[in-house]
Structure 1
Amino acid sequence: MKKITLLSFSILFIFSFATLAQENTFEKIKQEYEAFQYAKVIEVSTNFASHGNMSDSLKIDIYLMRAVSFYSIGKEDSTRNNFFEILLLKKDYNPDPAKISPKLISIFNSVKNDFIKTHTPQIEQIDSTDNQSALIQINPAFKYSILQNFIVPGWGQIKSGSLTKGITLATLSTANLAAMIYFISNTNKKEHDYLIETDKSLFQQKYDSFNSSFKTRNILIASYVVIWLYSQLDFLFISGSNSSENNFISTTRLLIETAYYGVQLSYRLPLQF
């Protein structure tokens, strides 16, 4: 336990010492900068800003002082390099006009323009009129048959040539729909009769009649939903794809195009409905 405690204090001491040394170095650079000792600023700050445990804001301050210092001794290329390092840390950085001269701001803006050109992702524009870029291509006749099948389950199968299946589904769905509409109306009527009944001897009879109609109505609603869903799925993925008519359903091609940093990736998935 004592060893662990001693080790912890040692690590804390080393970390505190390193932080203090870093702060002292920064203060020394700042003092030399404020005293216009630009050669000293460059000398002391060399390699200091590249330390990994330093905050970005501190690095930016150092690079800015170096940029001004290099400009003051006539080394514009080095000034540009330090402005570039600032933009690598913070691409939307803008210097304070109260701290540096208009000429330096002009140089910074020039560096920033070059930086934006070389570090902005180039996204390739896709021609929307290009047939190759069509996300989904479906035969108009197929789209119309989908609508028909939505209205009357089985109609789509009949149109696609699956007559037996289509007629069976259409008959079942139509009969089920008719019975469902009847029992919805019948349930509402029997519920009303039960609610307004005043003869206590008829309460149970009225309730049983209403309850029976209510259960039948719910069964018919559920069965119609099942028939409807089955018909849609069957038409889209089974009966529709087996159509005997040429080009009744066109091959659908899904084209996904992603452009990032000038690289375009295309995925073509042939889908046959």
Structure 2
Amino acid sequence: MKYRASATILILLAVGMTRPSFAQSQDTLGVAGVRNAYEQLDFDLTLSRAEFVIRSGDRQAAEDLVEVHTIAALVLVARNQTSAAREHFASALSIDPDLTLDPVQASPRAVELFESVRAETRAQSADPPAASIRYLRVYDPRPAAAYRSLVLPGWGQMYKGQRQRGIVMMALWGTAAAGTVTAHIIRHNKHDAYLDETDPSAVQDRFDSFNRWHKVRNSLAMSTVATWVVSYLDALIFESSRSSRSVVHPSMGVTTDATSNRPSLSLRLTLN
């Protein structure tokens, strides 16, 4: 009875570990969390959540980033942090040049600042800048994913957006871990039965049963370790296959300068 109770507890623990517990829901960490904090006038929490969403920008939709930058700018205007608010307005306009600000939802100071930034942005777009080298920083989720898979197999794959692969690896590891614990307890019982056997004709059967479960336990333990290693290496080496990954689409066109009537060549990169 003692070993049965231990087996039940260990199996529940092993299976329970296959489902990570997150302290915050996706709504809290995403644009909805920023929006809710702003509606509750909790400006510190709004900026904190906005910073989190912006730092994970490669995993956010373009319209969500626009909304988060706009909300952060409105909060900063209310706090008289004009320079920081300008940067957020500029970031929002860089994603959506046709963005407008609702005067009903924003203060006159915020609307005035937004219009100023939009005018500057359009002026910069109208004047072709001199040729220069631009660097595009691309977030690589693999190191963070590998760390998560090191803690719990499959978690890193889910972090990279490979949900089905993560669930499969998590289920395989959880099953193998639970099987290892169960086989170990059965092996222990078989070993005790073998040592306690006094009938010479039954000793060999007791030993064979113990030896069989000993091999099963070892095989399941190796499967558990192998699944853990494969999950870690997969999260570290292979890139994310998310269909929502940001892609740059170039487009080229010829325009005419209104002042000099000379044609000019323009190149536009659209990020979606």
- TM-score of the aligned structures, taking structure 1 as reference length: 0.38
Tell me which structure has the larger Cα radius of gyration.
1
Normalized against structure 2, the TM-score is what? 0.38
